[in-house]
Homo-oligomer: A and B are copies of this chain.
Amino acid sequence: MNHLISAGALAGTGSSAVLERWGVFEVAVAGKTDGNPFTDYNVRGVFKHKNETVEAEGFYDGGGVYRVRCMPSFEGEYSYRVFGSCMEGAAEGAFTVAAPTPGNHGPVRVANTYHFAYEDGTPHVSLGTTCYVWTHQSQELQEKTLESLKNGPFNKIRFCVFPKHYVHNFHEPITYPYEGTPCDRSGLTADNFSYQAQYEGNDWDFSRFNPEHFRLIEKRIADLMEIGVEADIIVMHPYDCWGFSKMSPDEDDLYWNYVVNRFSAFRNVWWSLANEYDLMRAKTTADWERYAAIICRQDPYNHLRSIHNCRHFYDHSRPWVTHCSVQRQDIYLTVEMTGDWRERYRKPVVLDEICYEGDIEHGWGNISGQELVRRFWESACKGGYPGHGETFVRPDDVLWWSHGGELHGESPARIAFLRDILEQAPGAGLRYERPFFGGGGAAVPEGIFDAGSYYLYYMGLGRPSLKRFRFDSGASYRVEVIDTWNMTIEDAGIHSGAFTIPLPAREYMAIRLVRQ
C-alpha cells in the first residue's frame, strides 16, 4: 500500500527545487482520518546518510495528509523510511543533497562559550529585533515586514506562535491555532483590557490544531531563512485572552510536540520557550522543564534554546539552556550587566529587551534612537548580543514591535553600522577587558591566543576631549576614531608606544585600534 503523496525539497525553502545541505526535505503521506488524527496517530521518519541518521517525528497537516521533515546536515545520498500508526507499512525512498547555496551557512550554534557561529564555522554576530505577532497580521503587512528585514541590519527576529492580546493588539489574528471560536474583544481598549483575564465566548478544541495557522507561520520561517534571518520562535507567552496560556499539561504537551515536530527542520529556528515566562502564572518550573525536555527529545537538530524573563531570570545555568535571553532588570540597567551575566552563566548573553526606540506610554518602549544605539554598543563591547524593537505611536496603530511593517526609527541604520564593525573584528566574538589605560575598558577578541591584536574602545555617554594610550609591546596600531551615531570612521594614523588621540568631546564616540 503506497501512501506517498510527495517527497522532496519543501516548496519555498530554496531558490530552486534542488535540496541543499541544511535545506528541508519533506515526505507527505496519506494517512488515517478517523477519530482525531492529531492525537490518535503518529508518523515518523528515519533519514540515513553515511555520516548521520536523523530520526524525526512528523505531524498531521489536515485533509488526511501527514508530513515528516528532515534537515540534512551533509551533502550526498540519503535514504528515508516513513512509517507510523497513521499508515500501513512504510514509504521509502532516497534523495541527494547538494552543496549549500551562498548565504546558507547552516544552523547557528554556540561557539567559543559566549558567542555564536553557523554550523559551517562562519561567525554569527547576533543582532536581533522583535515583531511579536507579525505572522498573524495581513499578508500585505507581512510582506512589508519581510521587505524591511531584507533591507535592515537584523539577523534574528523574535515572534510568537500564539496570537497576542495586549495594548495596541486588539484586532484579530488572521488565524487561530485551534479549531473553535474566540471571545469577543470588540470594545476593549488600553483603559479597560487585561491580559490573562477570563473572557467570555472562547470555545476551543485544544486537541485539534488548525493546520493553516502553523502553515502560515512556517511559510514565514522559510522566508526568513531565505533572507538570512534567524527565527527566534516564542512558543508561549502571557498576553492572552483565549486560554492558550492556561491549557492543561496534556494539552500543552500536545502543542509543544506539534510545534517542535513541525518547525524543527528549518535551519534558522531558535526556540524561545516563552516571552516573560514569569508572568505566566499558570505555569511552574516543572512545566518549563517538561517543555524543555520535549524540545530536547523531539528536535533532532539541537537548535538553540532559551527562555525570556520579565523580572526574574529563569535559571540559565540549566543544561538545556544554550544561551541567556535577557530582559532588562530596570528601566535602565541591563546592558551594563552583560559581563556579570557572562560570568555567572558562562553562555552567550542575548539581550532581547533593552527598551525599544519609540514614544509609547510604557517605560520599556519610549527611549530615543541614541539611547538604544548606546545600549547596543555598550552590550556588544561587553561581549553580549543586544536586540532591537520599535514602538512609536502611529496613526495606523501598526507598531514594529508587534506587527512589523516599516521601520521609522533612527537606530536601524546605526545598528547596521555597528554590525559591519563587529563583523570586521578578528576572532570569534569580543569580550570586555578592564581596566584599560586608566578609565573604562575595551572590547578585545575572545580568548588570549592573539592578545593585543585589536581594541574597540567605546566611550558611550563619556565625552573626553582626548584619550591617552600606552603600549609597551613595541607594536604599531592603526587608530580610527568612530562616531557611532553619525556613522563616520576617521583615520587617526598609525601609532606606537605612548600617544594621545584628540577627540571631539561628543557623546557616542569609539576608537578602534588594529595592530599593523
The reply to whether A464 and B360 form a contact with Cβ atoms under 8 Å apart is: yes
Size of interface on A: residues with Cβ below 8 Å to B:
37
A393 to B371, CA, bound (A): 26
Give chain B residues whose Cβ lies under 8 Å from the Cβ of A471. none
Answer whether residue A212 sits at the interface, using C-beta atoms and an 8 A cutoff: no
The reply to whether B465 and A361 form a contact with Cβ atoms under 8 Å apart is: yes
Chain A residues numbered 473-514 whose CB sits less than 8 Å from any CB in chain B: 498, 505, 507
Q: Could you tell me the distance in whole angstroms from the C-beta of A338 to the nearest C-beta in chain B? A: 11
Answer whether residue A463 sits at the interface, using C-beta atoms and an 8 A cutoff: yes
Picked from B333, B336, B362, B507, the residue with its CB within 8 Å of the CB of A464 is B362
Given contact pairs A505-B366, A507-B368, A465 touches B331 in the complex (Cβ within 8 A): no
Answer whether residue A249 sits at the interface, using C-beta atoms and an 8 A cutoff: no
Answer whether residue A179 sits at the interface, using C-beta atoms and an 8 A cutoff: no
Q: Could you tell me the distance in whole angstroms from the C-beta of A493 to the nearest C-beta in chain B? A: 19
Q: Could you tell me the distance in whole angstroms from the C-beta of A504 to the nearest C-beta in chain B? A: 9
Residue on B with the closest CB to A440?
B363
A438 to B193, CA, bound (A): 13
The reply to whether B361 and A440 form a contact with Cβ atoms under 8 Å apart is: no
Q: Could you tell me the distance in whole angstroms from the C-beta of A192 to the nearest C-beta in chain B? A: 9
A11 to B367, CA, bound (A): 55
The reply to whether B507 and A468 form a contact with Cβ atoms under 8 Å apart is: no
B-binding segment of A44-52, A129-137, A262-270, A454-462: A454-462
The reply to whether B190 and A461 form a contact with Cβ atoms under 8 Å apart is: no
Q: Is the interface of A mostly helix, strand, loop or mixed?
A: loop
Chain A residues numbered 50-64 whose CB sits less than 8 Å from any CB in chain B: none
Residue on B with the closest CB to A311?
B435
A359 to B498, CA, bound (A): 21
Picked from B332, B360, B440, B507, the residue with its CB within 8 Å of the CB of A460 is B332
Picked from B336, B461, B498, B505, the residue with its CB within 8 Å of the CB of A191 is B498
A439 to B362, CA, bound (A): 6
Picked from B361, B378, B463, the residue with its CB within 8 Å of the CB of A359 is B463
CB-CB contacts of A342-363 with B at 8 A, as 1s and 0s?
0000000000000000111111
Give chain B residues whose Cβ lies under 8 Å from the Cβ of A451. none
A146 to B498, CA, bound (A): 39
Give chain B residues whose Cβ lies under 8 Å from the Cβ of A439. 331, 361-364
Give chain B residues whose Cβ lies under 8 Å from the Cβ of A498. 191
Picked from B190, B191, B464, the residue with its CB within 8 Å of the CB of A366 is B464
Given contact pairs A505-B366, A507-B368, A331 touches B462 in the complex (Cβ within 8 A): yes
Answer whether residue A466 sits at the interface, using C-beta atoms and an 8 A cutoff: yes
Answer whether residue A330 sits at the interface, using C-beta atoms and an 8 A cutoff: yes
Answer whether residue A467 sits at the interface, using C-beta atoms and an 8 A cutoff: yes
Give chain B residues whose Cβ lies under 8 Å from the Cβ of A190. 468
The reply to whether A462 and B505 form a contact with Cβ atoms under 8 Å apart is: no
Residue on B with the closest CB to A378?
B332
Q: Which of A368, A461, A507 has the most CB of B within 10 A?
A: A461
CB-CB contacts of A172-191 with B at 8 A, as 1s and 0s?
00000000000000000011
Given contact pairs A191-B498, A459-B363, A393 touches B465 in the complex (Cβ within 8 A): yes
The reply to whether B191 and A362 form a contact with Cβ atoms under 8 Å apart is: no
The reply to whether A438 and B362 form a contact with Cβ atoms under 8 Å apart is: yes
A498 to B189, CA, bound (A): 13
Give the interface of A toward B (CB within 8 A). Answer: 190-191, 330-333, 336-337, 358-364, 366-368, 371, 378, 393, 438-440, 459-468, 498, 505, 507
A-B contact pairs, 30 of them (CB 8 A): A191-B498, A331-B439, A331-B460, A331-B462, A332-B332, A333-B336, A358-B463, A359-B463, A359-B464, A359-B505, A360-B465, A361-B465, A361-B468, A362-B439, A362-B464, A363-B439, A363-B440, A363-B462, A363-B464, A364-B439, A366-B459, A366-B462, A366-B463, A366-B464, A366-B505, A367-B463, A368-B461, A368-B463, A368-B507, A393-B465
